[in-house]
Each structure stands twice: as structure tokens, then as C-alpha cells.
A and B are shown apart, each in its own frame.
Chain A
Amino acid sequence: MKLTVWTYEGPPHVGAMRIATAMKGVHYVLHAPQGDTYADLLFTMIERRNHRPPVTYTTFQARDLGGDTADLFKAAARDAYDRFKPDAMIVGASCTAELIQDDPGGLAKAIGLPIPVLPLDLPSYQKKESWGAAETFYQLVRALAGSSPVPRTPAGRPRCNILGPTALGFRHRDDLIEVKRLLRRLGVDVNVTAPLDATADDLRRLPDADFNVVLYPEIAGVAAGWLERTHGQPTIKTLPIGVGATREFIAEVAALAGVDPALAMDDCGSRSPWWSRSVDSTYLTGKRVFIFGDASHAIAAARVASEELGFEVVGLGAYNREFARDVRAAAERLGLTALITDDYLEVERAIADLQPELVLGTQMERHIAKRLRIPCAVISAPSHVQDFPARFSPQMGFEGANVIFDTWVHPLVMGLEEHLLSMFRDDFEFNDEAGPSHLGHGAAPSAPAPAAAAPAGVTWAHDAQAELNKIPFFVRGKARRNTEAFAAERGIATIQIETLYDARSHFAR
């Protein structure tokens, strides 16, 4: 058993729902109790979808157990077919149904529906949401695309598939638009995009492309690997997040497709490099950022933060163990040890210890950062309703890099304001406790920051504490921690003003 306060990922059947909901004409019959229908709201409320997810729940109850839960399943599958007339069906069990072992796959086969029916085996007590999504997508691709060669469209322009965008994905809708634009400029045609808005027939046509562009390895990595092995379609693996990665993505696609990369390279809409070089951004230099999310977004964010914004990455981690190796490697390149955990409390501790100036994370980290009074921007699922904005806001491509520049810089105190705050610390109106002035009072965190406990035996003299309070809040936590560590190391029991400045010069080296 594992004590869990908040979870980064839902159960694997929620991953399967994300695939079914993204596609058209695919229905999911889920052997599950009534209560599991809560998952519908993830799509209808958080993502504001205007249709119910195409999921039929069998809603068995305690009194059905040991009796006719299997019949219930068959009836539900038959009714779902009659009512929704899908082109393909996936069937499976939620955590509870897994325990009663009704074999939804076998039952569905027995009723002999005239459409492809795919049994999903998603072990709820071992795996999680992203794995469930990847497995579901892979099973659908394998079953529908088949392994025999398909007749190819006569050679013409290069063609690719775009794999990965799905329901409840962080900015998938807008990334897709941006990536399609890049491909169009390169003269590469898109054969199929999947799973988002794809039909069963679209999946059958997948082999009719030269290569696959995988936007979200967590969702489409497994399916792309199979297509590569079975149909000889190479995979574009670079994720075009950030200017540098977008250029590499263009180069990689161009090389594979045999086209001129220059066609898409000089995007005059790419403003973030100049925004970053302009003098106003000097104050961003060396800002200490903590990054946590799904592996792909976290790794990409670390690169953008260090290479394109001039931040210092002080922590990097991910919650999905499936991609831990990549995160570890990325962290090592930055001289860090990756934090691989799905324990929210552990992430909170890491952030409290590191006292970064900016947190780039999921909505969980947004919450942690709010409590610790640290600015934050969301870079990855799990996300909340405000992470599905009405406006166009991709993360990928040149426009994505512009969006990233804006959203990461916005929560910070601006350059000159930062100076003024340090110069006139006691100004009763221009009070640093209020947070960045352009964010208004709403930005002032409500909960007091939990003071990290001082090492045993170290206390603050009254005037040293007063001096510490003159340090702007966004670096105060770090100053406090450093000074306490400095004092503890030297056996100083009471921190005086002198100790504070000694520590400062010590850590400035």
C-alpha cells in the first residue's frame, strides 16, 4: 500500500478513455462500478468538451457480484453498439472489475459484433494513466493497421503521420496546428493525425506514409516503435519545444523527407530569441528554476530554461518512471540528480529545500509554489481548467517558444522593479510582500510560507532577523537557508547581522 495525498496520474483506464475520447467512432465499454463515471467530468469540465466521452460503464453493484456481472457486461456492450454504432470498440476492466475477472475481451467476442472489438489488458494495480493511453493507442494501431504491407500512394510529395495528440493533453490542440504549419512550409503532407480526431479507417491508412512524427512519446512512443519495426517507418524523435529544438526538428524532418530545411527555418514570427537577448531580459540571468512534469516536457523545459532564457536549472524531475532514464541523462548534463517520483510530498520537500525563484511544473507544483510563495508556470499535464486557454497557445514550434517566453517571464518580478524593491525595502506602499506589482494583489499568496525548520541549535538574533526581512521575499528563503547552513557548519549558535553578511560573501564565491 502506498499513502497518497494527490496523484499525478489517474488509473490506466483513464488513459484508454483519453484515446477513445480523442478519436471519432471508437467506443469504450468499461466494466466498472457506477462511481467510476466520475472520469467523464475530466473531459467535459476540465477540457470543456461539448460531448460526453464515448464510454459505456457497466455500473455493476455489490448485489450483482458473484451473480451476473458477466451478463451485465454483455448487455452493456450490445446496447452500446446498438445505440452508438461505432466503427470499432475497445473493452476492458477498471480496477474493481479486474478483481472479479469477468474477461471483458472474451465476453465481447462471444456476442459477435460486426466491428473490430479490441480487448484491453490494463493492469490497474501496476500501471497508470499515461501507460494506459500508450498501450491503448498501440493496440488500436496494431489491430487496425495490421502487419501486412499496404498499397502505397504513388510517390509524390513526402508524407508523414503525426502521432500523439490526444484528449486532455497539455496544449495538444495548439501544438498540432503549429507543427502542421511547419510541415506545410517544408512541403511535407500529413497522411494521418492520430489519435486526435482520427477514425478507425484513418488508423488503417497509417502505413501509407514515409515516416512518423511523434509529438508526445508518452502517448505514441510504443505505437511508433511498432510502426517502425513493422512498416519500416522511421520516427522523428525531436520534440519541437523551444527555438533550438524547433530548428533541430525542422532539420530532422527535412533530412528524412529530402527537402530543404531553409523553407521553414527563418520564421519571422520567431520573437523569443530577440526578446531574450534584449537588455530588458538581463535580469533573467541565472534565475534559479525548478522543473517537474512529464518526462518529455520537463526535459524540453530544462533545455529552454538554460539555453534560451539564461536561467539556472536547480532541480529537474518527472513523475512517469517509464521515461526515467531520459530524465536522468538530461539532469546529469546540467550537473543535477533527477527527481523521479510520483509522490507529491517528495516534490514539495524538494522545492522547499531548493527555494527556487521560479517553478515550472504541473498544476500540483502550481499549488506547492503558491504555498511557498514562489512564482510558477505550468508546463505539463496534469493540468487544470485554466490550462486549457481559449486563445491559441502552443508549446511547440516558433510560436510555442514565444508563448513559453511570455508565460515563464510573466510571473516574475520585473527587472527594474526588482532593483527598486531592494533599494527601498521599507517603503510602506511599495511592499515586496505584495508580489510582482503587475500581477496586482491577487498574486499575493494567502497562506504563510511554511518556514523551513532551522538546523538544530541555530537561532536568529533580533536585529539579524530584521535585516533578513529587508531582503526581497523572492530571495529571502534562499538567504535564510544559506545563512543557517553557514552558521550550523561553523557552530554559530546565534546568527548576528555579521553572520548574515559573512554567509552572503561565502556563497557569492
Chain B
Amino acid sequence: MFCGLTGIVWLHRKIQDAFFLVVGSRTCAHLIQSAAGVMVFAEPRFATAIMEERDLAGLADANDELDRVVDELLARRPDIRMLFLVGSCPSEVIKLDLSRAAQRLSKKHAPALRVINYSGSGIETTFTQGEDACLAALVPEAPSNPAGAPASLLVVGTLPDIVEDQFRRLLGEIGIPKVDFFPPRRSGDIPAIGPGTRFLLAQPFLGDTTLKLEDRGAVRIPALFPFGAEGTTAWLTAAAEAWNIDPAHVQRVVAPGQERARRALERHRETLAGKTLFLFPDSQLEPCLARFLSRELGMKLIEVGTPYLNKDLLSRELEALPDDVLISEGQDVDRQLDRCRAARPDMVVCGLGLANPLEAEGLTTKWSIELVFSPVHGFDQAADLAGLFARPLRRQTMLKV
């Protein structure tokens, strides 16, 4: 399982004028580069300020060093409007106060640049929790809703632009007057948040962000997550209910999408139905995926691992899962491997480190990082999501070598 720094790989693509500066070690730089498949982006908007011996021995003042590095960075990228200082295990262990550094740098570079900090360290976060930490840090930057402002809907969690546009169209047709997305595509477009804000989570791993939004008076709309036809329908319907919109109208709006999704899923159902599934903990998406794969594609769940289970945010997902499923929280990879080998599932969902070794043992795998790197939400991506699981199985039947 990766640490929370990994989120930078998709967050820096989403917020197009933001830069992510990790304050960490060579390991941190190596992690992001390896997780990003190495060098896929021409000019990445992320980098690492690698701490060296002299920084630790107190020979260099960490704050002076950080100022220097940030100046160097801004000279290269004057177009940057928002800078995230991202804490790592080493910076946390030596108690480098990045929030003070962020305040200082914000003052120094205002108004051209805003500087915000969060931690993606591997001692506090796993994988997708990095996005949670980032978004939680971004909430205080949002302007306040004026008192008495009309209710508006906020969709929370990084979505590919194409999915965002689809949801915006659907929610508009349903009749929700004002819909905003968080994080925004540009740092200057952070939507106002306040007591009039009702929010829908697009991702299940946003516990801290939820608390921060609730502190601002925003109210969460509980729903299934928008994976598959069922999840997407429930998610959109939950929003419509919050606005007391006529269910018959909502059904008319979602019907075409539902129908397209169901039709497209048919093909994958043939491949996946009846197949057993074992999910290693990785992205916190596991309970949602398990619900989708079991209810819409007929897969049989053996074990659903998740690095962390937020029972509150996931209550509807958990209700929708079969009663007898084993949900395991946290990671103990050797024991999980023992259980997986004993069960010999038809499909294993796991991280990149395990996939090839398990394939070599004759198991079929889907590596989970693809699930956060590709458009998988909503009606029109439901079949793509199913396809990610069906493809390895189809491949197994095709190969004669």
C-alpha cells in the first residue's frame, strides 16, 4: 500500500494552477516517481524538497532552506497560483512546522500565490487518504456562503473532467439550481461553503474533508457512491430528495443513462457472474467496488479488505453488501496472502507489488491503482469499470501460451 503522497499524481492534474512540493526524503521523491509510472508527464507540477544531512544536523535553518527552494520553484513556474507544502514521514518525525511555513510564505508571496499545507506521510495516511488530507486543508480556503444564501450542492472528491461534466448535466436536468465541484479545476474557483451547502461525496475516503465541511455548516447527503447504474442512480436520487424534486421527474432524467449502463454491463456480466472475488486493502474503494461487482455483475465475494473503514460514510454501502461477506480492515499482508491462497479466488484485486507474484501462482489479478487513475464513476463509465475486471479474465481464456 502506498502512502498519501501518491494522491499528488492525480491531484496535480486536477487543480491546473497548483503545485505540490513534498518536503521529504529521497524515498518520497522516488515513491511519487514510481507511482506515476515514471516520467509520464512532460512537466509535472510536483517536486520534492529533499532533506539532506545538513538540514537534519541543524546546520541549515529548515525555514530558510524552504524559502530558497520555493523561490527557485516560482522562478521556474511563475504561473503557479497555489502551492501545497506536503508533509512526509521525515518532516513529521522531525516536527517541521509546515503550517507556519505556509503562513509565512503565503504572506511573502501574496496575492499572487496561496500556500497551503497538509501531510501525506506514510505514518498517518495511506494512498487515497492523501487526497482527503489535501481537500481537508483546502476547505478553509473556501469563501463563506452569505447568510440566507439559497441552498447549493457541492460534489466532493476528485473526478475526471469528463465525469464532472456528465454529473453537472444530469444534476442540472434534475433541477438542482446550483452545483459546484470540489476541488475546483483552478485554485481561484473554490466555491463558497456555508450552512446552505449540501454536499455529496463522490469518493468514499473523504472522512476528514467531511468533518471540515460540517464544521463550516455544510450538510452531507448520505448516499451510495456513484459506481455502477445502481450507485449512480441512488447518488443522484439522494441529491434530488434533498431538494424535494418529484421522483417521477428524476426517474425520467436518469432513465436513459441507467438503460445505457445496464445494456453495456450485460457483456461483462457474462464474464464475471459467478466468479469469486478477493480484494486486498488498498484504496478504500473496496466496499463500493464489492457492492457493484456483486449486485450488478453477480460476482461472489470472499473477502473485502480496506485499509480503513469509515462505517458512517459507508453505512449505505455496507447495508447493500451480502450479510456473510468478510470485511477486513487494515493491512497484514502475509496473513491476507495466506487466506487468499487458501481461497483460490477467480479474481484478486491488489496493489502493484502483489499482482505479478500472484499471477505467477496462477491467480488472476486486477491491480487496484488503475481504479483511481481512470474514469469509473457514473452511468457511462459503469461498463468501463466492469471492463477493468473482466479484461484479465477474458485474457486468461484467450491465452494459449
Option from A9, A48, A51, A126 in Cβ contact (under 8 Å) with B53 = A126
Listed stretches B22-30, B137-145, B195-203, B261-269; interface member: B22-30
Chain B 327-354 near chain A by CB (<8 Å), digits 1 or 0: 0000100100000000000000001111
B52 at the interface (CB under 8 A from A): yes
From residue 96 to 139 of chain B, which have CB atoms closer than 8 A to chain A? 121-124, 126
- Looking at the assembled complex, report how far the CB atom of B363 sits from the nearest CB atom of chain A, in whole angstroms: 12
Q: What is the bound-complex CA distance between A154 and B50, given in angstroms?
A: 54
Chain B 32-58 near chain A by CB (<8 Å), digits 1 or 0: 011100110010100111111101100
Residues on A with C-beta less than 8 A from B360 are 50-51
Listed stretches B86-94, B170-178, B208-216; interface member: B86-94
Residues on B with C-beta less than 8 A from A123 are 53
B245 at the interface (CB under 8 A from A): no
* Known contacts A35-B122, A49-B356, A62-B123: A96-B55 contact under CB 8 Å: no
B72 at the interface (CB under 8 A from A): yes
Chain A 323-363 near chain B by CB (<8 Å), digits 1 or 0: 00000000000000000000000000000000000000001
Listed stretches A37-45, A235-243, A272-280, A399-407; interface member: A37-45
Residues on A with C-beta less than 8 A from B353 are 37-38, 40-41, 44-45, 52
Residues on B with C-beta less than 8 A from A83 are 334
B31 at the interface (CB under 8 A from A): yes
Residue ID in chain A nearest B73 by CB atoms: A3
B167 at the interface (CB under 8 A from A): no
* Known contacts A1-B55, A42-B34: A48-B356 contact under CB 8 Å: yes
> CB distance B90 to A99 under 8 Å?
yes
Residues on B with C-beta less than 8 A from A126 are 52-53
B318 at the interface (CB under 8 A from A): no
Residues on A with C-beta less than 8 A from B124 are 61-62
Residues on A with C-beta less than 8 A from B27 are 10-11, 13-14, 36, 94-96, 124
> CB distance A10 to B30 under 8 Å?
yes
B1 at the interface (CB under 8 A from A): yes
A7 at the interface (CB under 8 A from B): yes
Count chain A CB atoms within 10 A of each CB in B6, B26, B52, B65 and give the residue with the most.
B26
A111 at the interface (CB under 8 A from B): no
Residue ID in chain A nearest B2 by CB atoms: A38
Option from B1, B30, B123 in Cβ contact (under 8 Å) with A7 = B30
Option from A2, A34, A125, A367 in Cβ contact (under 8 Å) with B39 = A367
> CB distance A35 to B3 under 8 Å?
yes
A496 at the interface (CB under 8 A from B): no
Q: What is the bound-complex CA distance between A7 and B49, given in angstroms?
A: 12
From residue 78 to 92 of chain A, which have CB atoms closer than 8 A to chain B? 79, 83
A4 at the interface (CB under 8 A from B): yes
Count chain A CB atoms within 10 A of each CB in B31, B62, B359 and give the residue with the most.
B31
> CB distance A35 to B26 under 8 Å?
no
- Looking at the assembled complex, report how far the CB atom of B33 sits from the nearest CB atom of chain A, in whole angstroms: 6
Q: What is the bound-complex CA distance between A61 and B126, given in angstroms?
A: 10
Residues on A with C-beta less than 8 A from B390 are none
Q: What is the bound-complex CA distance between A36 and B27, given in angstroms?
A: 8
Chain B 182-223 near chain A by CB (<8 Å), digits 1 or 0: 000000000000000000000000000000000000000000
A158 at the interface (CB under 8 A from B): no
Count chain B CB atoms within 10 A of each CB in A6, A14, A83, A364 and give the residue with the most.
A6
Interface residues on B, range: 35 or more
A177 at the interface (CB under 8 A from B): no
From residue 269 to 284 of chain B, which have CB atoms closer than 8 A to chain A? none
- Looking at the assembled complex, report how far the CB atom of B201 sits from the nearest CB atom of chain A, in whole angstroms: 24
Chain B 60-83 near chain A by CB (<8 Å), digits 1 or 0: 101001101100110000000000
B254 at the interface (CB under 8 A from A): no
From residue 84 to 117 of chain A, which have CB atoms closer than 8 A to chain B? 94-96, 99-100
> CB distance A1 to B356 under 8 Å?
no
Residue ID in chain B nearest A62 by CB atoms: B123
- Looking at the assembled complex, report how far the CB atom of B67 sits from the nearest CB atom of chain A, in whole angstroms: 10
Q: What is the bound-complex CA distance between A139 and B26, given in angstroms?
A: 23
> CB distance B352 to A41 under 8 Å?
yes
> CB distance B52 to A1 under 8 Å?
yes
Residues on B with C-beta less than 8 A from A128 are 26
Give 19 A-B pairs besides A1-B62, A126-B53 with Cβ atoms closer than 8 angstroms.
A4-B29, A6-B33, A10-B30, A33-B122, A33-B123, A34-B3, A35-B3, A35-B4, A37-B1, A38-B34, A38-B35, A41-B352, A42-B34, A45-B352, A52-B353, A60-B123, A79-B334, A123-B53, A447-B42
8 shortest A-B CB distances, which residue pairs?
Answer: A35-B3, A35-B122, A40-B353, A50-B360, A33-B122, A96-B89, A95-B25, A41-B352
Contacts from B to A (Cβ < 8 Å): 1-6, 23, 25-27, 29-31, 33-35, 38-39, 42, 44, 47-53, 55-56, 60, 62, 65-66, 68-69, 72-73, 89-90, 92-94, 121-124, 126, 331, 334, 351-357, 359-360
Q: List 17 A-B contacts (CB under 8 A).
A: A1-B49, A1-B66, A1-B68, A3-B49, A6-B39, A33-B121, A33-B123, A34-B126, A38-B34, A40-B354, A42-B34, A45-B355, A59-B331, A61-B123, A124-B27, A128-B26, A364-B39
